[in-house]
Amino acid sequence: MKSTQKELRILQTGCLSSEKRASKSASSTFREIIDNAVAILLAAGIRNARFDTEILLSHIVKRDRAWLITHMHDRPDYEVIEAFEAAVKRRAKREPLQYIIGLQEFWGLDFIVTPDVLIPRPETELAVECALHMVGLSTEHVTVVDLCTGSGCIAVSLAKALGQTRIIATDKSMKALSVATINASKHDISDRILFLEGDMFQPLEPLDIRNGVDIIVSNPPYVRSGDYSTLQPEVRAYEPEMALVAGPQGIEMHGEILKSASDYLKPHGALIMEIGLGQADLLVKMMLSANAYTTPAIHRDLAGIERVIVATKI
C-alpha cells in the first residue's frame, strides 16, 4: 500500500510538471519572454539589454535575429524558455555574452571563446589590417609570428587571408592554445599555423628563424595594474587577468617584445603591436631609443584612439 501511494505521488508530480511546462509554454510568446528578460538585464545595469536577449534567444533556437523578429508572436517550447531563462540569469550576473554562447565574430569569422581566452575585440582587427598591408601582394615564403595568440583570432584571420604564409603563434597558456587550435581547425587552416606553448619568444628559440621573420604581431596585455579594479564587471570578473594586466605602466609586455623582436625580424620586417589609451608616445620613445627600428607609425581605431603601433626593423 505504501509503495502504491509513493508511486501515485510520483505520477502526480510528473503530471504537475507536465502541466507546468505546458502552461508556461502556452502562455508565453517570444516577445513576452524577451520583454521580461530585457527588464531583468536593465535592472542589472546592462545597457544593450534587448540586443543581448535577442542574441541569447537566437542562439538557443538556432536561428538568426531576423527570423526571431518575424516570429515574435510564436510560442516557444518549455525547454527553450528554460534554457533562455538560465542564459539570462548568467548574463544578469554580468557574465559576458560571448562566453554564454561560446562565440565571437572577428574579421568576418566566428571564433570559439571560453573563459580561458580574452574575447576578441573589433579594434584588434586593426592589427590584422596593418599586418596585411605590410605583407603586401607577395605572400610566398612569408613568415609571421603572433605573440600572445589567445583565441588565435589574429593568427587564424591572417592564415585565411594570406594563402601560403607560414604562421607561428605562441602563448604561455596551454588552455588558451587549446582554444586557438580548435579555432584553426574550425576554419580549416590547422596545417598553416604552428602553435607553441611558452612565454613570448621563448618557444621560438629552438627554431631556425632568427633574422628570418617578416611580421611580428601581438595584442599583449596592456592594462595598468592600478586600473584593473575600474574595468567593467564583465572584464574584471570573467576574462583572464593575465591576458589583460601588464604591470604598473601597462607597457611592460611591449617592452619585453621590443627587446627580442629585432633578433627575429628580417631587415625591413615589421613589428605590429596593439596598445592602450595614452601609451603611444612612450612606446615611440622606447622604439627609437632601441636604435633598431624606423620611426613608428601610429594607427587609430574607429573611435579615434591610438590603437596600433607599427615599426620596421632598420
Q: Determine the average pLDDT of the residues in 155-171.
A: 94
Domain 103-312, second-level architecture: 3-Layer(aba) Sandwich (3.40)
Query: CA 46, 49, 55, 60 torsion: positive or negative?
Result: positive
Q: pLDDT tens digit string along 41-72? A: 999 999 999 999 999 999 999 999 999 999 99
Phi, psi of 111 (to 5 degrees): -115, 135
pTM here? 0.89
Q: What pLDDT sits at residue 273?
A: 98
Q: Determine the average pLDDT of the residues in 292-310.
A: 97
Q: Which helix (H) or strand (E) holds 101?
A: helix 97-101
Cβ count near 88 (within 10 Å): 24
Q: Show me where the domains of the chain are located.
A: 2-93, 103-312
Record: fold of 2-93: Helicase, Ruva Protein; domain 3 (1.10.8)
Residue 267: all three cell numbers together:
631587415
Q: pLDDT tens digit string along 71-101? A: 999 999 999 999 999 999 999 999 999 999 9
Q: Kindly tell me if the per-residue pLDDT of 1 is higher than 50.
A: no
Cβ count near 204 (within 10 Å): 22
What does the alpha-carbon distance between residue 119 and residue 106 come to, in Å, rounded to a whole number?
10
Identify the DSSP state of 224: E
Q: pLDDT tens digit string along 96-106? A: 999 999 999 99
